[in-house]
Structure 1
Amino acid sequence: WTEGAILGQQLWHGDGEDQRGHGGATPKPQPKPEPSAVPKPAPTLGIYPLDQFQLDDDAAVRAAYALWGHYPPVIHHYLRVHVFPRVMRCQELKISASGQALGSSLLFESRLAFSGTPSDLLPVEEEERRQLSPCVFERGSEGAILDTLIDPARVSARRTGHDWSVRGILFDIATAGTGASAEPPRISQRIDVLIDTGALVTGMSNEEVAQYLLDHGLAWAKGVVFLDEHDEKQVLLRCGGHDDAEAGAARAA
């Protein structure tokens, strides 16, 4: 495009006087047309060669936009190379593998450790000497887990009726240990945190759960901390609105 612009500037030499052909022959003079019939030269855009183009030159930028602004290949290049890689998470290749492939010698010759819940479901090897199972558990670790789960000082269970509902459970949580309702609370101890209750509390967003708890109890709390749809921590205050302060707020995850 720069060559075309420069060439366009060089093609206009006025009204064509003193033009000579090849071999030194002088063409026959032609009668001049009327001034109104003489075509006006097309305006040139004044585009500099690319090595002299400066982004801080407003005139040059406007001229470049006039040439490129609606040119489909340029638009396609700008979107694919500059815009989409910045605003979209994209990758050309996606690597996927099963636990058997990752944990066995199929992909990696040496494996040092595994993360996650310990179990005997370890990758199977063709050679017995390379077999990783059975899992060798730390002595006493499973006993310590069971001891914690059955300790009444740490864990308690409560049966619900067949007619239980999500809002009924949230009401019991909101009034737990406070006696906020006319009836005695079904849960004697105050509940401060809800962790991983997504399978139990369904049909309501985290903000709706926080609002319900504040509307029906939690007299001791100034607000409820929850995670929004973008996993950002928010605080719903009793006085209304959101805040990022966490002091004196119950937590609902």
Structure 2
Amino acid sequence: MSKAAVVEPAAAPPARRLSYPRSLDGKVALIVGGAGGIGAATSRMLADAGATIVITHRFGDGNPTTAAAVLADLGGENHLALPADVTDTSTLIALRSQIEARYGRLDILVNAAGFTKPVPHADLEALTDDLIDSLFQVNWRGQFAVIRTFAPLLKASGDGLVVSISSVAAFTAVGSSIAYCAAKAGIDVMTKALARVLAPEVRVLAVSPGVVDTNFVRGRGADFNDKVSASTPLKRIADADDVAAAITACATLLGYSTGNIIQVDGGRAL
């Protein structure tokens, strides 16, 4: 009897980059706050779609190590991590000079830097002047300053895109503090205003998450997440990839959209 032929298992096909209507090959994307949860997930998705990625980290707070880990996860050799502080425009101008010298262009800007501190809405005294100023300085003024700094490069692209991270707190008035809700409402207004003035060379959009499973709001644990999940129509909270997918869609699928606020909240705001 002849031995049965041994059939070797077929080799796994090589991983394929997703195909999108708008290719990101040759595009350069700056992810401000790219070492954070949403920023890191966005960096990975945009890189998978073909973009070269620049991420920022803050000065002297340990983030360079995190930023290096994000870069290592992207693969390739042309991605970059650089320091910047959205509250200091001089560092943003220096960042612009470095990007222009290295790549000669910028096509996509993602504003993912931000911070908050939980303050019960009824505790008016706890929302101090200093905290209000800090929340607006980072979450509104900082995002505007980044767009203002990079608008010339984005316009020169001819196909520029800005995506800012807002929040459903902007219109539900339910969030970590009243000031945070107000700052995010300001992001929505800014998105619409800049969509008019930067068109047609640059599209301006905002992505508006509900509760996201990251460490952005300190002190929130599994009990909070479980409670929110139970009250959300899709019965879960978002993860960073949910938000990153919406941002990537802005760059690759929604080529005729500008000035829009895209909710990624599982129906929580209904």
TM-score with structure 2 length normalisation?
Answer: 0.19
Which is strand-richer, 1 or 2? Answer: 2
Higher relative contact order (CA 8 A, sep 6+): 2
TM-score, normalised by the number of residues in structure 1: 0.20
